[in-house]
Structures are given as structure tokens and as C-alpha cells.
A and B are shown apart, each in its own frame.
Chain A
């Protein structure tokens, strides 16, 4: 059985950061703050967060912040709630939340809540339950959930529940494992998991495991390493993760590694990227793989970081 090539993955993540100028890196430049979150969280899960220059990253992050309090995906790009959460998460990893003007950031996020309880991603008004999760997670990490109407936020999420027990992006939208993670996560953080039919949703989620051991995101779709995170986190939060075969999934994730150059891909022998490397390692953490730190299924941060924020030192 293959093993986790942890050192290779660390090297890969550090090298991606330095390798600019390829088409692959330019095309995702607008979401570098997300990339930083994926890469740095992976490093932390592997116990290697110390290899990066904290001050350099923090000052770059701050340069992505706008007057409104929100963060763009990179310097010069518009603010959006998605990058604001990633920025907050990265600062949480480094225990540097105190560099933020908490009121300003939380006002920006809380200001995106709409009358019906839903959240827009930015000032242009796209509504999606992904943004509900992002806003709730972000405000919770900043201890500012009191700035929004939590009851309405929960009600909106519940209005997106489907026949299969899962959730869509807006009312009527099809269930998708990523979207389910967002909704379950938001309900978990707001102590509202009783709105979920855990057996119905748990069965749908565990049926995402296909013959190869990998997980897909919707029925009759191909497996993909990223669902190791979306599906597993959701199953853990509703206490149904024992319904899948963990050994087979571990094997699948390990099969998606590039053991020579580091990194993990969506499926075996595909091109690796930081996104799938993070989801693969985080998935292994959920599967209690030795040598990988525990990650919290709702906040998507290492458990020690989350405990530090909510339970004190």
C-alpha cells in the first residue's frame, strides 16, 4: 500500500508559490488568497507551517484588503466574501487575527446579508448558499455572529433543502456535495443541525463512494479527490461517516498523489494542483491518517486552531 508522500507535498506547495509565469498560475492569479489558504492549511496539517515567512504573507494579505473591509483575491482585485474568509482563515492559522480591524471586516461581511436571510457574495448581488456558509464561518471566527440575523440565515438555508436531504445553491437548486458541505457547515456553526434529516442525507452522501473507493459529488458522476473533503466533512458533522469504507478512500487519495514531484490530483494520473493537494490531505486527516493533524469539519481549519479561538488556550 502506498504511503503519503508528505515531504514531497510540502516541497510542491512551496514551489508553486515560487513558480509564477506559467499559464496555469496566471489563470488563477485572481484567487491567490484562496490558494494561500489551501497551501498553508495543508502545510499546517503536515506540521510544516514554519517553513513560510509569516510577516511577508500577512503584509501581502493586508494589501489585498479594501476600504470596505473586504478582501480581494489578489492585490488590485475586487473584494468578495470568498476571499475575505480565506484571508481570515490564513490569519487564524498564524494566530494573527489581531492585525485586523475586526469591526470593519465583520461589518463588510454582515452587510452582505439580504432581507430573506440569504447572503450575496459581493456588492453585485449574486446569491448562493456558499456565501451563507462563508459569511457565517467568517463572522463566527471573528466572534461577530451577533451582527447578522442568524435565524433568517438558517431559514434561508433550510429553504434550499431537497428531496434527497441535500441542499442546493438557491431554493430549487440541485444537491451537490460541495453545496451540502456549505449548508451543513453553516447549520453546524449556528447550532442548527436538527434541521437535517441525518439518515436521509447520510445515505445519499455515503452512496457517493464508487467502486474505486473515491467519492463523487452527485449521483452518476466521476469520483474526485476534492469530494473527500466535502462529503467526509458533511458526514462527520452529522455523525454518519462510518457509513463509508475508509480504507478504500485512503487508498484512492494516495493513488492520486504524484509521488515523484509532489501534489495530489482529482483522479489518478491527472495533473496535480494546490486545491486537490489540500483536499486530499484534509480528507486523510478526516480519515485519521497517521502523521496528519486533525482538521475541524465545519471551520476547515486545524482543530488546535479552532479550539484556540473558541475554547481559549
Chain B
């Protein structure tokens, strides 16, 4: 029941309602009995029509009519005219039902079903639709039926596009028409129909149309959503691109298999230590792709055969497409010549097998060249060191700039991003369009206060900076953008967290956009000799009020990351940090273990601090379906894990914790300060994670 006022019926109304109910009940029972007896007589059909006139939602009644039609078409003369008259009667019944209830699924489908028989005249349909769509221009059943009729009568998409223009000009606040327009225009552009050869021209025309709508009533959402879509169409580069990698192009990476003491190597960004004797190659694409393999990516080096490499998508839900792909390469075997460096070259784009989820091929030939050298040391006998605990206290960190003289590491930040492979064809038009739109909305906002206007301006400025940053790595407008988001938080407090998330992304992007500012956040952990878990360079993004993280493509080199004292609810995207070994997420707003889902893909992670979050405080788990689990058929049943961890009870109760942590090789975990972290839970962790040495600061064994 929608829109019916709440009131107690007067006795006479109640009597009338009861009488109506009785009549309907009688019709319904008589109809059902006809249905079960397969009685398709004229009387039975008339009774059915009466029922549908009162209650068009009675789906079985429509089914019955279809059976009756089939019965009649097979048992009477099969000529066109008699078939037509049978079907015309159906159209009449539907029309009466639609006038009673314009939103009846059953009535609309019955009409489609009748039309599909091919005996009825279609001309009447558009006239009927015009009437109905005038009465309710947002009815999505009518719009859907319109698409069906247009297809049936081969009406051109240009004609339908013109129909949406009329509807929009009639009333700008017709989201349904804008929506239909986006579908038609996409198809016309894709098929390059005459008059739609040039995407630029078509989009310019659309900007003009939507400006009229927006400037007529800036507070109406309908045009704005279309505008945001146009902006996306303007900025979008269809083909996927490679945007970053680890190791980065031009870098020198020092690999070490053992723990090394007193060696300066670990103070550098580009040093990587692992016990496994392999190091990852990470490719970061602009959009999710499939088809990355040794056939589409060629890795040339003197120590590893390309065909042996197995590329895997980094996907948090086991999908075969991902933005980030990784493979593991064995260290060069260099027991004798410790100082030798080995060049490695990755070529991609020579073969066309890499395809985005929307079907576009990766086609920019890109090369990444870097060098590795292996430093080998005597095996460390002092096991105490292995159990060294990481303390995230401020006094354990020293500013990178003051401590380091290494210009080589610094310089390499500049090469973190792969540039120069962007599509040049539209760039001038793109820059001009964005610039003129910015000017237009600045003008609009100087006259009125408009929420979506401000948000759109922020997006335009970000688009502008994104276009420019391809050449100069600067974010010219970031302060203006941040101010806009801060304004929006005040103007529209309902959505304050949306603006805060956007704010965080821009802030982080700015911090990471150039090495001067990035260096301010880089620290050494203690003195150089004391990092037991790889590089001692720590990126400290703590205390920035971040509610969200982004720009992960520029952080692939990070091995130690401090994100503590922010307002993070999610660590989406963090799975790309394949060489991360120490992570501090304490004092954030993470609400569940499934929110830590991306960590499952971080096989190098040894130290994790999630203390003082909100794990266990919420009954709603917002990442329940973003993480592989039995619920989404992406992980075997949690019940089976009983067998894996014999004697560990509470696996079912703590299935999410078990799911996230079981595959990791954590040495140190901090979980205190979360609602879930009671003694029982701690003992569950101790029993399920045999490799764990430190739990909440206590040495376990």
C-alpha cells in the first residue's frame, strides 16, 4: 500500500469495503476453479477480465489468459484475422488493467507477450505510451515497454533520442529521460552512426543541453547525474594502461635472503629481504584487466626463464580480473660474486591478450627496466633478533631527510609512475572542455549556493589536476578542492562522511604526488641495524584524520607503513602492497575482521597492529561480502576448518578472524582495545596461529 492515508474507517465505509471484498473473493474463487478446470469459455474469460480490472496484480489470472489464448489459437481457424481478434481482446483487457494500475508488472508483461505473437498492430502502442507517459513521465514500466516497442518496430535510435530531447525540454526534472538518453547516446556513439562519428561533437552538444537543465533548477538532481556521466565520458580513456610497477623503472633493487646487520642496504627504499628467496614483480593497471601471463608480459633477465613465471591477479574475491598482477621471481644465484648486478627488463603490450573488463585491449607498448643485486651474508645465528618486537612509538622513528644522504633513493621516487603512454588524440579537447566547465561553474557558484554544484566543481578541478599531473606531478587545485569538501560537510551534514572520504583521498594524493612532501612522511625505524623485517624505511601516514586510503599505485615500494590514529573504516586496495611486512592500523574505525580482507593477499606481512579499533562492536558487518567466504561461495565452508585446526573451538563463532589470519605468517599481532579481544579470543588466536610470537606485546613462546 503506498500513499494511502492512515485512518479508521467509518462504519458505512467499512461495510462498503466488506461488500467489495466479498465480490472480489467470489470472483477469485470462481476464476481459480475455472483455471483448474481449464474452462476457457467466454463467460469464464469475462469473469477473469472483471477480476483483473479490480486486481491487475493477480498474476495467476494473467497466466490463465495466456493459456486461454493458446487454447483458442490452436482450436479455432488459424487465419491471421481470427488470431488478431483473439489478441486484440487481450490488448483491451490489459489497457483497462493499466488504467487501474499503471505499475502492474503482470499487465505490462501480458501486453509484451501478446505483441510478441506478431499479429497485432504496433502503431497504436506508441500512441498509448504517449498518453500514459504524459500522465506519469517517470514510470519505468512504460519506459521499458517503450524500448521493447521501439525494437519491435525497428524505430531508429536517433528518433528515440529525439523523443528524450522532447521529454527533457518539456520537463528538465525527468531522470528517466536522461537515463534513456545515456543508453541511446552510448549506443549511437559506439556504432558510429551518421551524425555521431565524433564523440567530441556529440558530447559538446550534450553539455549544452544539460547546462540548460542545471541552470534552470540547480537543486534538481536529474541533470546533475547526467552531467557527472558526461564528465566521466570526457575523461575516460577506454584502453587500460600500466600506471606503476614494482620494481620501478630505472631502480636498483638490493635483494637479500638473510638477515643483515649493520648494512646500509636496509636503509634504502629499494632493498628487499625475504627468507623465501623470491621477489615479486608487481604491475598496476589503470583498470581491472585479465590475460596477464608469460605470453603477454615478457620478463628478460639472465637468471630467470620468462616461461616459468606465473602471473596472478590480486583480487580480494578470487576473480580472474584485477588491477594489480603479481608474479614471484627467484633470486639470481650468486654465491660467488656478491657485487654483480643483473638487469631485468619487462616488456608489455607486444601481444594483445590483456583486456579490460569492459573489453578494451591493452595496446601501449611499455618497457620497465631495473637492476637487481643480491647481497648474501652468513646465516644469522642469533635467534633473539628474529624475535625482535616492533614498537610503533614516535621516538623509534627518525626523519628520513636528516638521517639519510642517499640521493639515489630519493631520486627514484620520481620514477614511481610510468608516464608517456597516454592517449594523445583527445587530450587538447579534454583540457579545453574541463577548463571551460570550471569557469562556468565558478560563475554559477558565485551567484548561488548549490550542493551538487560545489561537488561537481571539486570533481572538475580534480579532473583538471589529473590531466596536468601527467606532465608535471603537481596538484594545482588541491587547496581549493579541500576547501570545497570542507564547505560541503557543513552545507550537507547528512553526507559528511562521503565528503570526508573524498577529502582524505585528495589529501593523500597531494602528500604522495611529489617526493618533497612524501619525504616528510618517510622515517627510519630506530637505528638502521634494528629492523628485523626488511627495509627500515617507514612511511608514516599517521594522525592525518584519513577516513580512506588511496593512491596505492604510488606506494608499491612500501614495506613498513604506519596508518595509525586515523579514521579508517576500510583498507580497500592495500592488497597491492605486496612487499609490505609491517603495518600499523591501530586507533582507527575498522569494524570487523572481514574489513582486513585485503591483508590475506599480503604474504610478506609479519607485523600487524589493529589495536584500538571497533572490531566486535558492530552487529552490521559492511565488508561481509567483500571478502571471500562461504556466504559468497568464494571460500570453502568455515565448518571444515575444524579439521584444519584440531582442538580449536570457536572456529565457527570466529570464522571471520580465522578466515583472514589463518593464511598469514604473522609474527607479531596487536589486537587489544577491540570489543572482541577478550581472554577467550586471545587463546583462540594463540591456538589458531602457531607462528605468532608476540600477541599484544607479550612473548608467547
A162 B20 Cβ-Cβ under 8 A: no
Q: Does A313 contact B (CB under 8 A)?
A: yes
Contact of A241 among B182, B493, B622 (CB under 8 A): B622
**Besides the known contacts A128-B105, A265-B6, A267-B3, 14 further A-B residue pairs in the complex with CB atoms under 8 A apart:** A29-B28, A30-B57, A31-B57, A78-B63, A124-B66, A140-B633, A206-B498, A270-B2, A270-B4, A271-B4, A271-B5, A275-B1, A294-B619, A312-B638
The interface stretch among B250-258, B316-324, B406-414, B421-429 is B316-324
Query: Which residue, of B2, B220, B626, has the highest number of chain A Cβ atoms within 10 A?
Result: B2
A297 B624 Cβ-Cβ under 8 A: yes
Measured CB to CB, the closest approach of chain A to B75, in angstroms, equals: 20
Chain B residues within an 8 Å CB radius of A299: 631
Chain A residues within an 8 Å CB radius of B623: 239
Contact of A176 among B55, B140, B637 (CB under 8 A): B140
Q: Could you jot down 23 A-B contacts, CB within 8 Å?
A: A21-B25, A23-B18, A26-B25, A26-B28, A27-B24, A28-B57, A30-B59, A30-B60, A124-B66, A162-B182, A163-B226, A164-B179, A174-B143, A174-B175, A194-B288, A220-B221, A221-B138, A237-B624, A239-B570, A239-B595, A239-B626, A245-B496, A288-B619
Chain B residues within an 8 Å CB radius of A310: 629-631, 637-638
A-side residues, CB < 8 A to B, are: 21-31, 72-73, 76-78, 80, 122, 124-126, 128, 140, 145, 162-164, 168-170, 172-176, 188-195, 202-204, 206-207, 209, 213, 218-221, 224, 236-245, 248, 258, 265-267, 269-273, 275-276, 285-286, 288, 294, 296-299, 303, 306-307, 310-313
A193 B226 Cβ-Cβ under 8 A: no
Measured CB to CB, the closest approach of chain A to B381, in angstroms, equals: 45
Chain A residues within an 8 Å CB radius of B626: 193, 238-239
- Bound-state CA distance A296–B138 (Å) is 31
Measured CB to CB, the closest approach of chain B to A222, in angstroms, equals: 8
Chain A residues within an 8 Å CB radius of B147: 172-173
A243 B497 Cβ-Cβ under 8 A: yes
A220 B175 Cβ-Cβ under 8 A: yes
A311 B652 Cβ-Cβ under 8 A: yes
B632 A191 Cβ-Cβ under 8 A: yes
Measured CB to CB, the closest approach of chain B to A27, in angstroms, equals: 5
B638 A173 Cβ-Cβ under 8 A: no
B179 A174 Cβ-Cβ under 8 A: yes
Q: Does B510 contact A (CB under 8 A)?
A: no
Contact of A220 with B220 at beta-carbon distance under 8 Å, contacts A76-B36, A125-B113, A273-B1 already known = yes
What per-residue 1/0 map shows which CB atoms of B296-330 lie under 8 Å from chain A?
00000000000000000001111101000000000
- Bound-state CA distance A236–B497 (Å) is 14
Measured CB to CB, the closest approach of chain A to B504, in angstroms, equals: 13
B625 A193 Cβ-Cβ under 8 A: yes
Chain B residues within an 8 Å CB radius of A265: 1, 6
Closest to A80 in B: B59
B318 A191 Cβ-Cβ under 8 A: yes
B625 A297 Cβ-Cβ under 8 A: yes
Measured CB to CB, the closest approach of chain A to B36, in angstroms, equals: 7
A-contacting residues, B142-163, CB 8 Å: 143-144, 147
A188 B32 Cβ-Cβ under 8 A: no
B17 A164 Cβ-Cβ under 8 A: no
B498 A76 Cβ-Cβ under 8 A: no
Chain B residues within an 8 Å CB radius of A174: 140, 143-144, 175-176, 179-180
Measured CB to CB, the closest approach of chain A to B416, in angstroms, equals: 24
Contact of A269 with B5 at beta-carbon distance under 8 Å, contacts A174-B176, A206-B498, A243-B495 already known = yes
A242 B569 Cβ-Cβ under 8 A: yes
Q: Does B225 contact A (CB under 8 A)?
A: yes
Closest to A189 in B: B632
A298 B28 Cβ-Cβ under 8 A: no
Closest to B321 in A: A194
Contact of A218 with B138 at beta-carbon distance under 8 Å, contacts A163-B182, A191-B318, A310-B631 already known = yes
What per-residue 1/0 map shows which CB atoms of B13-52 lie under 8 Å from chain A?
0000110111011001000100110000000000000000
Measured CB to CB, the closest approach of chain A to B100, in angstroms, equals: 12
Closest to B625 in A: A188
Chain B residues within an 8 Å CB radius of A168: 140, 144
Contact of B634 among A191, A209, A267, A297 (CB under 8 A): A191
- From DSSP, what is the main secondary structure of chain B's interface residues? helix
B619 A73 Cβ-Cβ under 8 A: no
Chain B residues within an 8 Å CB radius of A191: 317-319, 628, 632-634
- Bound-state CA distance A72–B55 (Å) is 17
- Bound-state CA distance A303–B624 (Å) is 11
Chain A residues within an 8 Å CB radius of B321: 194
A258 B6 Cβ-Cβ under 8 A: yes
B630 A72 Cβ-Cβ under 8 A: no
A219 B631 Cβ-Cβ under 8 A: no
Chain B residues within an 8 Å CB radius of A163: 179, 182-183, 225-226, 229
Measured CB to CB, the closest approach of chain A to B388, in angstroms, equals: 35
What is the size category of the interface that chain B forms with chain A?
35 or more
Contact of A170 among B2, B144, B652, B655 (CB under 8 A): B144
B175 A306 Cβ-Cβ under 8 A: no
Chain A residues within an 8 Å CB radius of B3: 266-267, 270
Chain B residues within an 8 Å CB radius of A286: 620
B357 A195 Cβ-Cβ under 8 A: yes
Q: Does B58 contact A (CB under 8 A)?
A: yes
- Bound-state CA distance A23–B112 (Å) is 29
What per-residue 1/0 map shows which CB atoms of B480-496 lie under 8 Å from chain A?
00000000000001111
A145 B497 Cβ-Cβ under 8 A: no
- Bound-state CA distance A269–B4 (Å) is 9
Contact of A204 with B225 at beta-carbon distance under 8 Å, contacts A30-B60, A124-B63, A239-B570 already known = yes
Contact of A266 with B138 at beta-carbon distance under 8 Å, contacts A189-B632, A191-B628 already known = no
Measured CB to CB, the closest approach of chain B to A253, in angstroms, equals: 15
Measured CB to CB, the closest approach of chain A to B145, in angstroms, equals: 11
Contact of A190 among B25, B138, B180, B632 (CB under 8 A): B632
Measured CB to CB, the closest approach of chain A to B364, in angstroms, equals: 23
A194 B317 Cβ-Cβ under 8 A: yes
Contact of A269 with B495 at beta-carbon distance under 8 Å, contacts A219-B221, A239-B570 already known = no
Closest to A202 in B: B498
- Bound-state CA distance A203–B224 (Å) is 12
Chain A residues within an 8 Å CB radius of B618: 288
- Bound-state CA distance A219–B226 (Å) is 12
- Bound-state CA distance A126–B6 (Å) is 35
Q: Does B586 contact A (CB under 8 A)?
A: no
B18 A219 Cβ-Cβ under 8 A: no
Measured CB to CB, the closest approach of chain A to B5, in angstroms, equals: 6
- Bound-state CA distance A22–B18 (Å) is 6
Closest to B32 in A: A76
B572 A239 Cβ-Cβ under 8 A: yes
Contact of B655 among A172, A207, A273, A311 (CB under 8 A): A311
- Bound-state CA distance A219–B639 (Å) is 44
Contact of A203 among B58, B59, B498, B637 (CB under 8 A): B498
A236 B622 Cβ-Cβ under 8 A: yes
Chain B residues within an 8 Å CB radius of A30: 28, 57-60
Chain B residues within an 8 Å CB radius of A72: 60
Q: Does B681 contact A (CB under 8 A)?
A: no
Chain A residues within an 8 Å CB radius of B7: 271
Q: Does B222 contact A (CB under 8 A)?
A: yes
A-contacting residues, B207-224, CB 8 Å: 220-222
Contact of A266 among B2, B22, B36 (CB under 8 A): B2
- Bound-state CA distance A24–B570 (Å) is 46
Chain A residues within an 8 Å CB radius of B25: 21, 26
Closest to A313 in B: B652
Q: Does B109 contact A (CB under 8 A)?
A: yes
Measured CB to CB, the closest approach of chain B to A161, in angstroms, equals: 10
- Bound-state CA distance A192–B222 (Å) is 29
What per-residue 1/0 map shows which CB atoms of B163-180 lie under 8 Å from chain A?
000000000010110011
What per-residue 1/0 map shows which CB atoms of B536-556 lie under 8 Å from chain A?
000000000000000000000
Closest to A166 in B: B179
- Bound-state CA distance A248–B288 (Å) is 37
Contact of A266 with B1 at beta-carbon distance under 8 Å, contacts A174-B176, A288-B620 already known = yes
